[in-house]
Amino acid sequence: GRKRIVAYSSDGAESVIATDVESNDLAVNARGELWFTDPANKRVWFVDAQGARRVVHEGLQFANGVVLSPDQSLLAVADSRTKWVWSFQVAPDGSLLHGQPFYHLETPDESSDSAADGMTVDREGYLYVATRIGIQVCDQPGRVAAIINKPQASALSNLVFGGPDLDTLYVTAGDKVFRRVVRRRGVFPWLPVKPPPPRL
């Protein structure tokens, strides 16, 4: 590939955000800053609004999907070769603090890894994770609250809320995109939303 991260304006104009990067997935906040995963080097990177980048975490077995919480105070990073999605507090300068394996994913009996890939969140603070067994929906305390079956046998790679009311869940699987209307609503990266307090 071209090893670049690019942004597109509403008129289709392309601007280069970062070059010579080994990026897999990324999350953008309301200030135009972003975090991206680099699984080959077991790193998470931060890129500020001026384009300066630095490593903010190292050591995950396979850093894959990444997403901000609805209020953008936390960053979740999927470690695909384990059963965990890590949670980090986001510092004002983009650094990641107090990281811990937080969301415990379900796996098939014969497997020790979740193959967790892309992720998204809803306004209530629930985390949606594309995994080998389906879309795992995790509550704020880190528990799997539901699993939505895969629409076909091939692996799920990413998912996002869309539609006029952000109540349609789109998921990629193989060479197809599937959609499903749900009772939850997603969030825009440029419009943080404070979720309700977690319920135990």
Task: Tell me whether residue 159 is in a domain.
Answer: yes
Residues 4-61: tens digit of each pLDDT: 999 999 999 999 999 999 999 999 999 999 999 999 999 999 999 999 999 999 999 9
pLDDT score of 200 more than 80: no
Task: Tell me whether residue 49 is in a domain.
Answer: yes
In this prediction, residues 176-187 reach a mean pLDDT of 96
Count Cβ atoms below 10 Å from residue 174 Cβ, excluding itself. 12
Q: What is the pLDDT of residue 112?
A: 84
Task: Tell me whether residue 157 is in a domain.
Answer: yes
Task: Tell me whether residue 21 is in a domain.
Answer: yes
Task: Tell me whether residue 191 is in a domain.
Answer: no
Q: Which residues, listed in sequence order, are joined to residue 82 by a DSSP beta bridge? A: none
Task: Tell me whether residue 187 is in a domain.
Answer: no
**13-to-9, 28, 36 alpha-carbon distances in Å:** 5, 18, 22
Residues 116-136: tens digit of each pLDDT: 999 999 999 999 999 999 999
Count the domains in the chain.
1
What does the alpha-carbon distance between residue 29 and residue 189 come to, in Å, rounded to a whole number? 5
- CATH no. for residue 16? 2.120.10.30
Q: What is the pLDDT of residue 110?
A: 87
Residues of the domain holding 147 = 4-181
Q: What is the pLDDT of residue 75?
A: 99
Residue type at position 117: D
Residues 68-78: tens digit of each pLDDT: 999 999 999 99
Task: Tell me whether residue 88 is in a domain.
Answer: yes
- Residue 175, both tokens: 């060479």
Task: Tell me whether residue 195 is in a domain.
Answer: no
- Residue 98, both tokens: 């107090």
